[in-house]
Structure 1
């Protein structure tokens, strides 16, 4: 499908089918940068981006799009775009949007929002997810287009995320964080999410608090966001106190540069893992390490949790696996092992409980001396921020172990709630 648009001087422009899809995307996303448009189109080379810029300039001249400049520093800038009046008219004419959607004044107001970096950074994540998962047909929703109401008679939205993504009864609610919201505001938001998940038990609800970082350039310098990511994660955990957290609600705190990949795993149903999958990965990773790395002098013997936990220990807070550790046949210690998933707040709930048990043994028959938290990849172990320092925790990841079987396996120890340092198992 092509569309020929004539101007007053009878010169025209032919809009190709892929460009019509592009106009529909920009209409749906409200506002996007030229770089985000290039990502959505799958462009790679400088020449392709140069051609895109020329095409977007022509679209602007024909009022298909409206272009604005976002200034950075020293005369550097980039362009961002919203749908133009003619673009809305054509989409409506071709039946690609409904008459109810076609109010141009609504989109005109979006062109100059007070917090442009907030909105554009949100689209950075959304565009990446929608493009990378285009075969899965992820739905992308501006929150005011599908209002979250307690009941149909309400006039005021009960819940307003920054953006919503959905796929096969899995919803992702994006909350972009620039560091200005107080924890009392976060607590208020979380109380709404707890209620919303309880009201809609047939769906899985995933809330992503995404901290804006250096991966998206803005007029402000956000710097290292590790501490903020960790504080958010701990603060969200604190909001759970005294509340019944719905089983169909998962909450994450991650950096912008990591958000897209993690959200895609969530929408594909790859995470969060069920307990059997966690145990399988932990056992497999440890077996490979013991078999392949002759420099690691320890043997691990799995023991049943009933030998260590009292009946009073909540099953949902128990460590995934427990091992007795030996060296040359001599017992050394007992460790609890846990599979860690980047950004997932519920991880802290289990680590908190496990750390207390190591130190105070309230619900243990016999002592567990240390906790070993295992990630799947090195990116996860390096980028995740727990937000709480656990003195009895060793951290590792399967990917780093698999890269080098000729030396002692790499572990990490927290030096603060936001930072880790490399150590050995003997540390």
Structure 2
């Protein structure tokens, strides 16, 4: 039989008291750092260690609100204005956290009454949705720190903060900076943010920084989301990132752009070290692609596949960080088709692979020593391919999934081309066209 967690008795005035376990202290701290959370979000945290149901938790939170440990406020969500109750910390809650060593004394200065009144309420709700979903996926991994950006100092030489993200996850020396986009930011503001992250990475070369731009979508049913076509917004941000960073190679800075409904999965993979792929992993995947095309039973009957040294393709001024991961020569047995093919590894939301693709697609026909005919972009997972948005049409691009290609060794390899900026269409190797705009 599981032991019940030990609880500390906290006196509230002369007649009331509450009993708090260590995880409930941490829950109050999380609510404070998050500004406000819904019952569902609080339940996702506390249910890990406390055997409670959602109704019992809600009743407890309401009681605590009556004692000024918390405060409660309804927020109207969805097209029909469904009422959802959010809880923030109360003045007694701040006092409890400080006196019991869970918060610094300067928390007395927090303007907690403004938490519900802040102008960017949608922005905060989206941030907490992304953060709590990520923590759930990570099972609240104790090795990963999750804090509002205001609690971490990232200063420039003038003593001002270089950039203030909406949230920061960290593990060891790696910082994942979260930027929530509700669609209201001007293009120049976004460009300035990217410039500031570049400055941040250059000032702190001993740190590794990732930035995840998260576009709020209809997975968060809030009336104030202005534009339904979030894929277009994702694509626009990606093109802005490319404009700002294509010629830069900053080893301690990785940028990602995704929609909200995919953000927690990408964030978890970043924090667990599953993305981006390291040099060894890239080598393994590149070798796999090469062998798949060389030894596929259908493909090898029709084509000869060989690797090409980049020295015969790239110009002296071609940026090395934008080189393809692999270059292949593909010719049919009759030698009527002789094509050179770039292979680029793609990861969902990850801008480095997309920057390579974008650059190589722009130079492949005229700005290299020899013309290149196609680009094959490959993902490790099919769901990454299905949910990634490239932001622009690439007519000479074939897309594939490494796992699927391995499984298709007895049949013709399946590739996809961009039917439009969102939809992919299955094609054979010979056909590389898009259907509509």
TM-score by length of 1: 0.89
Asked whether 1:68 is paired with 2:73, we answer: yes
Find the partner of 1:347 among 343, 353, 357.
353
Q: How does 1:86-97 map to 2 (within 5 A)?
A: 86-97=92-103
Asked whether 1:127 is paired with 2:125, we answer: no
Q: Aligned partners of 1:66, 1:402: CA distance in 2, in Å? A: 55
| Residue 290 of structure 1: how far off its partner (Å) | 6.0
Structure 2 residue aligned with 1:375: 379
- Structure 1's unaligned 5+ residue stretches are none
Change in CA separation of 1:56 and 1:246 when aligned onto 2, cut-off 3 Å: same
Q: Aligned partners of 2:59, 2:405: CA distance in 1, in Å? A: 49
| Residue 298 of structure 1: how far off its partner (Å) | 4.3
Task: Note if contact 1:65-1:83 (Cα within 8 Å) is conserved in structure 2.
Answer: yes
Task: Note if contact 1:337-1:372 (Cα within 8 Å) is conserved in structure 2.
Answer: yes
Q: Aligned partners of 2:80, 2:161: CA distance in 1, in Å? A: 42
Q: Aligned partners of 2:392, 2:28: CA distance in 1, in Å? A: 45
Structure 2 residue aligned with 1:386: 390
Structure 2 residue aligned with 1:116: 121
Structure 1 residue aligned with 2:320: 315
Q: How does 1:201-220 map to 2 (within 5 A)?
A: 201-220=205-224
Change in CA separation of 1:43 and 1:79 when aligned onto 2, cut-off 3 Å: farther
Q: Aligned partners of 2:252, 2:183: CA distance in 1, in Å? A: 27
Task: Note if contact 2:24-2:46 (Cα within 8 Å) is conserved in structure 1.
Answer: no
Change in CA separation of 1:392 and 1:70 when aligned onto 2, cut-off 3 Å: same
Structure 2 residue aligned with 1:100: 106
Q: Aligned partners of 1:320, 1:355: CA distance in 2, in Å? A: 14
Asked whether 1:281 is paired with 2:285, we answer: yes
Change in CA separation of 1:238 and 1:33 when aligned onto 2, cut-off 3 Å: same
Q: Aligned partners of 2:22, 2:245: CA distance in 1, in Å? A: 49
Task: Note if contact 1:413-1:423 (Cα within 8 Å) is conserved in structure 2.
Answer: yes
Which deviates further from its counterpart, 367-376 or 119-128? 119-128
Structure 2 residue aligned with 1:145: 151
Change in CA separation of 1:136 and 1:98 when aligned onto 2, cut-off 3 Å: closer
Matched residue SS, 1:137: coil
| Residue 312 of structure 1: how far off its partner (Å) | 4.0
Change in CA separation of 1:280 and 1:136 when aligned onto 2, cut-off 3 Å: farther
Change in CA separation of 1:224 and 1:51 when aligned onto 2, cut-off 3 Å: farther
| Residue 259 of structure 1: how far off its partner (Å) | 1.3
Change in CA separation of 1:264 and 1:146 when aligned onto 2, cut-off 3 Å: same
| Residue 193 of structure 1: how far off its partner (Å) | 1.4
Task: Note if contact 1:279-1:321 (Cα within 8 Å) is conserved in structure 2.
Answer: no
Change in CA separation of 1:16 and 1:136 when aligned onto 2, cut-off 3 Å: closer
| Residue 236 of structure 1: how far off its partner (Å) | 1.8
| Residue 65 of structure 1: how far off its partner (Å) | 1.5
Find the partner of 2:35 among 30, 37, 49.
30
| Residue 348 of structure 1: how far off its partner (Å) | 3.3
Q: How does 1:26-425 map to 2 (within 5 A)?
A: 26-42=31-47, 48-72=53-77, 73-74=79-80, 76-103=82-109, 105-133=110-138, 134-151=140-157, 154=159, 156-221=160-225, 222-240=227-245, 244=248, 246-288=250-292, 291=295, 294=298, 298-328=303-333, 330=335, 332-360=338-366, 362-364=367-369, 366-401=370-405, 408-425=412-429
Matched residue SS, 1:322: strand
Change in CA separation of 1:323 and 1:6 when aligned onto 2, cut-off 3 Å: same
Q: Aligned partners of 1:25, 1:70: CA distance in 2, in Å? A: 19
Q: Aligned partners of 1:391, 1:175: CA distance in 2, in Å? A: 31
| Residue 406 of structure 1: how far off its partner (Å) | 6.5
Task: Note if contact 1:355-1:390 (Cα within 8 Å) is conserved in structure 2.
Answer: yes
Q: Aligned partners of 1:181, 1:310: CA distance in 2, in Å? A: 38
TM-score by length of 2: 0.87
Which deviates further from its counterpart, 220-229 or 415-424? 415-424
Change in CA separation of 1:269 and 1:238 when aligned onto 2, cut-off 3 Å: same
| Residue 320 of structure 1: how far off its partner (Å) | 0.6
Per-residue CA shift, 1:115-154, capped at 9, x if unaligned?
2121111112222333433335222222222343214x63
Q: Aligned partners of 1:359, 1:344: CA distance in 2, in Å? A: 25
Q: Aligned partners of 2:242, 2:378: CA distance in 1, in Å? A: 21
